[in-house]
Amino acid sequence: MEACASTSRVLLPFPPRAARPAAAACSRRRRAGAGRRRGVRLAPARASLDSAAVLLDAAVGAGAGTGTGYSQASYYTSLGLFVLSVPGLWSLIKRSVKSKIVQKTFVREEGQPTAPSLVAGEILSFFTRNSFAVSDRGEVITFEGSMTPSSAQAALLTFCTVISLGSVGLVLSIAVPEGGNNWFWLMTLSPLAGVYYWTKASRKEEIKVKMVLSDDGNNVSEILVRGDDVQVEQMRRELKMSEKGMIYVKGIFET
């Protein structure tokens, strides 16, 4: 740097061309020095990038070694619980075509007529509207009728089966990845649940009713009903009765 400075200050009796090589040499040295300085500055940045790349490769290698990013114990625990709950789907389908027999004791709500003839007429009218006929008269009156399949029930059952089989397909696609997305074809079996219900839901039903009179015989104190829970509940709502010993609270959609 001193030689270059002295060359620029001394006046020589030569043409200006003689000074150009020295100036060019100084310019080249300056550029070389700047390049070396830039190289010194860039070296730490390259080292940082190289270190980050090494760490990334190590992380990828570790992930590849384990194969999964979740706990195997948690996965198989969840899978076991799911497999145990799958039989509930078949139980739901089977119960949909069977009657649930209940026996309940009802009392008339306040303000409703309790005369035996009026109560008997209301009960007979209810079962007649629902295609039931009296098969036995006596202290206990037996009503017999046919239950027909409900399209709404069949649609609901099919929908529940779609959701359940879709969950099964999802679990199997994780547990047995060789099958890929083919496991989701299980969902196409869901209409079979609706078909099963539609062909099996038709059945004969018997509902037995007994009226218990008060001591003077002028009023009905209790009504004992035994039969399918759906029909019994519908009878309670339409004839405005309450289960004995219980307080009935109307729903927000009931008038």
Residue 74 reports pLDDT greater than 70: no
Name the more confident of 195 and 112: 195
- Which residue shows structure tokens 């969950």? 167
Residue 166, judged by CB atoms within 10 A of its CB (0-12, 13-18, 19+), counts as middle
pLDDT, tens digit, 9 for 90 and up, residues 229-246 = 888 998 998 888 888 876
Q: Which of 255, 226, 227 is nearest to 147 (CA)?
A: 227
Interior CA angle at 156 toward 150 and 159, to 5°?
145
The pLDDT score that the predictor gives to residue 55 is: 46
Please tell me the distance from the alpha carbon of residue 238 to that of residue 225, in angstroms, as a whole number.
14
Give the pLDDT confidence of 26-64 residue by residue, as tens digits.
455 555 454 444 444 444 545 544 554 544 454 444 444
Question: Over the stretch 135-193, which tens digit does the pLDDT of each residue have?
Answer: 888 889 999 988 888 888 899 999 988 888 888 888 788 777 888 888 889 889 999 99
pTM for this predicted structure: 0.55
Q: Which residue has the higher pLDDT, 152 or 2?
A: 152
CA–CA dist 232, 227 (Å, integer): 7
Task: Give bridge partners of residue 238 from the DSSP assignment.
Answer: none
pLDDT score, position 208 = 94
Is the separation of the CB atoms in 235 and 243 below 8 Å?
no
pLDDT at 113: 76
Pick from 98-107, 109-118, 205-214: least confident: 109-118
